């Protein structure tokens, strides 16, 4: 089950835009790790957050409920939350639990970054 251990990185990619890459099991601990990273990025001025879930295959409702709390925090500050690299089942779970009503879903990181902040390589 080592592949379910959460591996997480966070970076300020551009002015006001933060990226969290999270791979592993999104349960209460994994969800909280993402929430902590999000809180840190928000406090550093990131109003737009992209969460890349490449490598995340399994989640539970407790973990997703913590992601919903991040979404609410960003919405209160008129920020924006986006996800990319979701498996079909994670995408469907987000849809069932209402996350997709308030967050944008992108197929991959490049598409997300281009849409959110433009081409960062330029």
Residues forming the site for another protein (CB under 8 A): 1, 4, 25, 27, 57-62, 64-65, 68-69, 71-72, 75, 87-90, 92-93, 95-99, 101-102
- Whose CA is closest to 72, among 34, 43, 103? 103
CB of 17 to another protein, least distance (A): 23
Query: From the centroid of its chain, how far is CA 29?
Result: 15
Nearest to another protein of 19, 67 (CB atom)? 67
Q: How far is the CB of 79 from another protein (least distance, A)?
A: 14
Shortest separation between residue 71's beta carbon and another protein, angstroms: 8
Q: How far is CA 40 from CA 7, 18, 99, in A?
A: 17, 10, 21
Q: Which is nearer to another protein, 14 or 58 (CB)?
A: 58
- Tell me if residue 47 falls in helix, strand or coil: coil
Cα–Cα distance measured from residue 16 to residue 34, given in angstroms and rounded to the nearest whole number? 18
């Amino acid at each position: 089950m080592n592949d379910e251990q959460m591996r997480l990185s966070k970076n300020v990619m551009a002015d006001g835009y933060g990226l969290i890459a999270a791979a592993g099991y999104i349960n209460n601990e994994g969800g909280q790790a993402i929430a902590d990273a999000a809180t840190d990025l928000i406090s550093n001025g990131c109003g737009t957050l992209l969460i890349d879930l490449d490598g995340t295959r399994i989640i539970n409702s407790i973990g997703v409920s913590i992601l919903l709390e991040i979404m609410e925090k960003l919405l209160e500050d008129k920020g924006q939350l986006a996800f990319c690299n979701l498996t079909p089942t994670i995408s469907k779970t987000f849809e069932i639990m209402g996350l997709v009503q308030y967050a944008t879903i992108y197929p991959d990181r490049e598409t997300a970054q281009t849409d959110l902040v433009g081409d960062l390589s330029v």
